[in-house]
Structure 1
């Protein structure tokens, strides 16, 4: 019996659609990408298939929602060759190196270099002047001590984590969710997001790179991004702080939501990792289709795990690069399987109802 490298789960409405119609790109209204740093490497094969084949003939706009690595992944879409752009991002990220003990300034500078190579100015122009792929990135605007750099920021983080442990809505005392969105998008599907203070800002050629850098600016790891043009003054950091894997209301979306994800669990915010009671499920998201690596897939990876940021410190440079690039290559197994299941209709038998 062939091994299933891919697991597909769907909320009630999405599951019923697949049973009746299979999986067709025109049914998808939103593509979602989560935070997670190098965990995304196992999804790059799926991205190549989705960007280069599945959505290639799409005529109507597709909304994209991303934080941190998810937003960076999706920045390939709207470029002239999204598959080549995705491949470049994977290569740049997987081969990234630092000094023996890099500080925040060094890591931030390396991130800027990667960003400018991955997305040159002409690519920004191309992305903003097409409306087939409409980007929406979540970035947090910090309040109080979460807005400072250095050791005082740690106190702000600990205080906000404590507040979150008692009530997720209390994160709003420390962070404001800012949705930077494509100028062609009215961002109407975000209008029901009232769980935290939320405002919107248009993406432009003046702020595109700063907003993208900000959504991946992990607290204490990278410097915050100050005073992004077109948005309120302040310090901006990683959108995953409030929306790590998301727990947002998608009921305003008419069609289905496709969510390639590297983990079987969906963790709402950065501080919820150890709070097992806070998990998003298909009961919350009836219109969501979740694509994740199977346990068998993960077992075949080097070290038997998906890459993560600790690999920078735990594995020597040459071995880490080899491991990360193998994860990228192996991720294509999932893409090949998804393509086959869609083409043959076998996806109806492979999808599980996500409760």
Structure 2
């Protein structure tokens, strides 16, 4: 039996739809992208296929929602050549190098350089002037001690982690979710999030780059982004703090929510990684199609795992870059498998109910 490299799970309504109608680009109302640093490399092949072939003739606007690496991936969409932009991002990210003991300033500086190469001002103008793709990405405005750097920030992180372990809603005492969105956004959930304090800010040529930088500004690793134009004053950090893999109500999204993921679980927030009882499933997301690597895929990778930020410390630069490129190349197996299933009309056969 041929090994399968991609798992397809769907919420109740989504499964019924694809069993009766299959899956087409016009069925998709929302494309989701998770935080997770270089873990997304295994999705690069899927991204290139979606950004190029699959969505090429989509008639209705596509909404995207991402945090951190997910938001950065989707910044390829709306550029003049989204596939080329996506490949550039993968190359720039995978080839990042630092000194032996980089500090926050060095890591932040490298992120800023990458941002301006990947999404220069001309690309921002292209993204905001088109209406085929409506971007949404999340950063958090830090409150209390989380708005500081250094030791006070560390104490704030500890306090907010403890609060979150008791009640996820208590994160709202430490962070305000800020949804930066395309000015033509028609995403139904944009004004309906009530789980945490949430604010909505339209993207402009002045705030697109700093907002994108903020959504990937990992606490204690990168510096926070201060006073984003058009948004309330303050320090902004990684959107994955509140929405690592998301735990929001998607029931009002028109059409299917398509969620290519690098992990078999959807972990709501950054502090929920070790809280095994806190996971999002198709029961909460009945209109979502969730695609992720199988164990067979992982076993084919070097070190039998997907890339992560620990690789910076555990591998020298040439080893890490070689490993990450192999992960990117392997990800095309999943893309090829998905294309074959859709072309043969067998996508629904492979889909399982996600509970």
Shorter chain as normaliser: what TM range?
Answer: over 0.9
- Bigger shift: 188-197 or 237-246? 188-197
What does residue 229 of structure 2 align with? 229
SS at match of 2:135: strand
Distance 1:60 1:348 in 2: 23
1:192/1:252 contact within 8 Å kept: no
Structure 2 residue ranges without an equivalent (≥5)? none
What does residue 116 of structure 2 align with? 116
Distance 1:192 1:345 in 2: 36
Listed one character per residue, the Cα deviations across residues 165-196 of structure 1 (whole Å, up to 9, x for unaligned) are 00000000000000000011144322221000
What does residue 189 of structure 1 align with? 189
Equivalent runs, 1:37-186 vs 2, <5 Å:
37-186=37-186
TM-score by length of 2: 0.99
SS at match of 2:141: strand
What does residue 353 of structure 2 align with? 353
Distance 2:61 2:187 in 1: 12
2:187/2:253 contact within 8 Å kept: no
Distance 1:340 1:250 in 2: 28
1:181/1:187 contact within 8 Å kept: no
Equivalent runs, 1:197-276 vs 2, <5 Å:
197-276=197-276
What does residue 282 of structure 2 align with? 282
TM-score by length of 1: 0.99
Listed one character per residue, the Cα deviations across residues 238-258 of structure 1 (whole Å, up to 9, x for unaligned) are 000000000000011121100
Distance 2:4 2:25 in 1: 22
Q: Cα RMSD (Å) of the superposition? A: 0.6
Shift of 1:348: 1.6
Count of aligned positions: 355
Distance 1:267 1:115 in 2: 26
Listed one character per residue, the Cα deviations across residues 111-139 of structure 1 (whole Å, up to 9, x for unaligned) are 00000001111100000000001000011
Matched, 1:29 2:32: no
SS at match of 1:242: helix
2:76/2:85 contact within 8 Å kept: yes
What does residue 7 of structure 2 align with? 7
Shift of 1:283: 0.5
2:11/2:288 contact within 8 Å kept: yes
Structure 1 residue ranges without an equivalent (≥5)? none
Listed one character per residue, the Cα deviations across residues 274-304 of structure 1 (whole Å, up to 9, x for unaligned) are 0001000110000000010111001100000
Structure 1 runs of 4+ with >2 Å offset: 186-192
Distance 1:293 1:269 in 2: 21
